[in-house]
Structures are given as C-alpha cells and as structure tokens.
Amino acid sequence: MLNTEWQLSGNIAERYEEFLVPVIFVPWARDLLARAALGPNMKLLDLACGTGIVARMASASGVMATGGDINAAMLAVAEKHANGTQLSFCHADAQALPFDDQSFDAVICQQGLQFFPDRRGSAMECLRVLKPGGRAIFCTARGLSENPLMQAQATAFSQYFGDGAAAPIRAVCAFADAGETESLFADAGFSPVRVDKVVLNLFAEDAVGFVDGMMKATPVADKIGTLESATRQQLRSTIIDEFGACFDGSSLRFPHSANVAVVSRL
C-alpha cells in the first residue's frame, strides 16, 4: 500500500498553497501547460490537482479547466482561490474518474502519479476520458539524490524524528524510473509515449522564510509543532545546511528533477 501521508488537512493545506506552490508548483505548472499547448475553450483535467494551480493558470488563458482531487481540504483551498468562470473543482478518484468518455482535450497530473495505489488503472482512466488525439502529461520526481529539496528534508526529519517521519518525503521520489514510467503508459494503451528527464532550477529568495513555511506544509508539521522554539530553529538550520551549495547565505537556488511523460491517445 502506498504512502498516503500527503493527504494534508486543515491549515496545512493553506500553508501548502502559501509556501510551496509559488516556489515549486507554479514553475512546473508553467512548464507542463506549455507542453500541453492548449487553446481557448479546450478542456483540461488537472488530475490530483491539490490546491489547483495548474487549473487556475490554464483558465486564465481561456482554457476550460477542471481540477480533480480526493482531498477535501486541498479542494477547499482550490475553490477559495478560484478566479474564473471556466474553472471548476470536484472530488475525483484517479482510479474511477467521475467523467464521461472522451471528455477532455488534455490531462495534466503534477506530482501525483507516484502516490496512486493503482497506477496502471489510473492511466487507463485517463486514456478513457481523453478525446482521440488528446494528450496526457504526467510529472513525477526523480530520485532523492537528484532533488536537494527532498533530500534535505528526508535527512533532517530522520535525524530529528526517526526514519518513519521521512517516509512521506521519500515517497515523493518513489516512482523515479523513466523506463518504468514509459512501460506504464504504453501498457495502458497510450501511443506515442515519450518520457523526458526535465530539470527546473527553482528559487526561494528568502531561504529562512521558505524553509519555515515548508516545515508547516508537510506531513511532519504536527511533529514540528511540538518542538520548542530553539529546536525548531535548529531543525530549520539543519535543513538549510543540507542544501549545501544551493544556499548562498540568504537565498536557495536548487535543481528540481522530474520525469515528464507526454503521452497521446490515437
């Protein structure tokens, strides 16, 4: 059974939107939407949408965007920040999507596939809801060694809370093999299938503020909240130190490495 501790709730979902989305998910949304090349009034499913940044950015350019997720708290934040008439959000299980056949011109899934219990079944569902000629784009993190953001957290959380606390962070990088990703979509019926390694250089101008916010927006947030102030500051310093040369004394500039699958329905 896959790790499910990223089903964030309550204020943690708000913190995810405030602290993680601008630094991590906006740059990736911009990249993935460019690959989708959608025009006005085309229909997009933002699958495992979280707080809905892909759908929100797409709708701003005239795309008819639907965000789907199983997490009610994340959907509530997405609804709160929705700002367009061609934008909607709904509960959607990737393994049994609540949409008719051939409903969408494109599906985008940003950092969700690695958490799906039935990846092949979910891929087949995406194929079902795509129109002929439609395109699906899936982005999943590569290994910890290629991603300082996750490596720094995993190392620090293990040190302060034990290996179990780092499991949700390691799970982000749990589906890192490009060949396995390619086989998954080919077996589900997509053609053609292309999987590329893509590295974005992400930037957090205020390293301390970003790491403080990040600590409030992970599955370990409750554990961190129980620490005394001095210990929390030590944890923050440990995380920043683990970024190594990515930290310049005030800012963080770090690579974020992912496999991006661009797959089509004939």
- Rounded to a whole number of angstroms, the CA Rg of the chain reads 18
Convert the pLDDT of each residue in 118-149 to its tens digit. Answer: 999 999 999 999 999 999 999 999 999 999 99
Q: What is the pLDDT of residue 83?
A: 84
CA distances from 208 to 34, 236, 256 (A): 31, 7, 19
CB neighbour list of residue 245: distance below 8 Å, 6 or more residues apart: none
Structure tokens belonging to residue 24: 């991590």
State the amino acid at position 248 in one-letter form. D
Per-residue confidence band for 9, with pLDDT thresholds at 50, 70 and 90: low
pLDDT at position 3, please? Answer: 44
What confidence tens digit (pLDDT) does each residue in 25-42 have?
999 999 999 999 999 999
Mean model confidence pLDDT for the chain: 95
Average pLDDT over residues 1-16: 71
**Span 40-50, pLDDT tens digits:** 999 999 999 99
Structure tokens at 80: 């709160």
pLDDT (tens digit, 9 = 90+) per residue, 207-233?
A: 999 999 999 999 999 999 999 999 999
**CA distance linking residue 41 with residue 239, whole number of Å:** 43
Rounded-to-integer distance, Cα 61 and Cα 257, Å: 27
Question: Residue 136 and residue 71: Cα distance in Å, rounded?
Answer: 22
> Which domains are assigned to the chain?
11-264 (3.40.50.150)
Average confidence (pLDDT) over 105-112: 98
- Which residue is associated with the tokens 């939407």? 33
Taking 80 as the threshold, does the pLDDT of residue 8 lie above it?
no
Helix axes 148-161, 229-242, angle to 10 degrees: 140
C-alpha dist (Å) from residue 113 to 141, 173, 220, 224: 10, 11, 21, 27
Does the pLDDT value for residue 52 go beyond 70? Answer: yes
Cα–Cα distance for residue pair 123/134, rounded to 1 Å: 14
DSSP 247: B
What pLDDT is recorded for position 5? Answer: 62
The Cα-based distances of 191 to 25, 123, 136, 234, 264 in angstroms read 27, 12, 11, 50, 5
